[in-house]
């Protein structure tokens, strides 16, 4: 569909399914931590659950929920017939299920899924990570592309499709907050893409962005990640 309400509902349903998926992982984490010395799952599997739980809750549950609300409400609030770029809207949703299928399938790879925490600090995500890191990086890239396309759509819709007489100062507050959010997303998603690409090349292609032995700096990862993470939140 290219109808903004249908796509908004798709986002909300997807978000709900991811919320249950991430919640199941949280149950594994809490069960393991129920009692000191209790050993329900392998430590490595616990680390994988912690990592994927965080990624799914942030990128799979919270963000698509707000994007779904934006798709539903923004056109109605500004008197627009639909989002400005309805086919791109459709695409930005439908690449998400593929991204998360890829992220979840990494758990079944040899060596296991990503086990370095959802903030994937170097060198845990570079030197000490399993080969499934490549799938994790690709999944993050696709989520970022989806977010950016959604954000472009929001900005173009708000700027171009307001009803006659709806000036900037008459915009509902929800629409204003989304306009600002969309600009922030476009500003910071490429930063995350750069960070995970550097993680990828450090791990598989012999670069040393975050490796002190090659003149890199693991603290640089934290700077780049924070530059993404705080505006994103």
- The stretch 101-107 carries a mean pLDDT of 96
The overall average pLDDT reported for the chain is 96
Helix (H) or strand (E) holding 81: none
Q: 205 is written with which tokens?
A: 């292609």
b/e 26-56 (16+ beta carbons within 10 angstroms → b): bebeeebeeeeeeeeeeeebbbbbbbbbbbb
Between CA 182 and CA 216 the distance in angstroms is 32
What pLDDT, in 10s, does the model give residues 167-194? 999 999 999 999 999 999 999 999 999 9
Distance CA 195, CA 198 (A): 5
- Of residues 148, 173, 27, 163, the one with CA closest to residue 89: 148
Cβ-Cβ contacts under 8 Å for 119 (sequence gap 6 or more): 54, 225, 229
Structure confidence at residue 184 (pLDDT): 96
How much is the average pLDDT of 139-157? 97
Determine what percent of the chain is predicted with pLDDT higher than 70.
Answer: 100
CA atoms of 25 and 32, how far apart (whole Å): 11
Query: What contacts 3, CB < 8 A, 6 or more positions away?
Result: 82, 86
Confidence of residue 233 (pLDDT cuts 50, 70, 90): confident
DSSP class of residue 41 equals S
pTM to 2 decimal places: 0.94
Using CB atoms within 10 Å of the CB of residue 97, give its burial: 0 to 12 exposed, 13 to 18 middle, 19+ buried: middle
For the cut 90, the answer to whether the pLDDT of residue 115 exceeds it is yes
Q: What is the pLDDT of residues 4-24, one digit of tens each?
A: 999 999 999 999 999 999 999
Listed in order, strand segments (DSSP E) in the chain are none
Q: H helices of 106-217, where?
A: 133-160, 173-204
Domains along the sequence of the chain with CATH: 4-230 (1.20.210.10)
pLDDT in tens, 31-82: 999 999 999 999 999 999 999 999 999 999 999 999 999 999 999 999 999 9
């Amino acid at each position: 569909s290219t109808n903004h309400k249908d796509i908004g509902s798709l986002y909300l349903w997807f978000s709900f399914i991811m919320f249950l998926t991430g919640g199941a992982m949280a149950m594994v984490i809490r069960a393991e931590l129920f009692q000191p010395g209790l050993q329900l799952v392998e430590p490595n599997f616990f680390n994988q659950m912690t990592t994927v739980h965080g990624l799914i809750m942030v990128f799979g549950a919270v963000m698509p929920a707000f994007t779904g609300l934006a798709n539903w409400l923004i056109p109605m609030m500004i008197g627009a017939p639909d989002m400005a770029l309805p086919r791109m809207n459709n695409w930005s949703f439908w690449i998400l299920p593929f991204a998360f299928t890829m992220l979840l399938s990494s758990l079944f790879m040899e060596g296991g899924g990503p086990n370095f925490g959802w903030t994937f600090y170097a060198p845990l995500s570079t030197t000490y990570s399993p080969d499934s890191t490549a799938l994790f990086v690709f999944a993050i890239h696709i989520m970022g592309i989806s977010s950016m396309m959604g954000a472009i759509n929001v900005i173009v819709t708000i700027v171009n499709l307001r009803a006659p007489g709806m000036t900037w100062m008459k915009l509902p507050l929800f629409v204003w907050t989304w306009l600002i959010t969309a600009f922030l997303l476009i500003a910071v998603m490429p930063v995350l893409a750069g960070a995970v690409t550097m993680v990828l090349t450090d791990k598989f292609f012999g670069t040393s962005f975050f490796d002190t032995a090659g003149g890199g700096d693991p603290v640089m990862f934290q700077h780049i990640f924070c530059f993404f993470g705080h505006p994103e939140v």
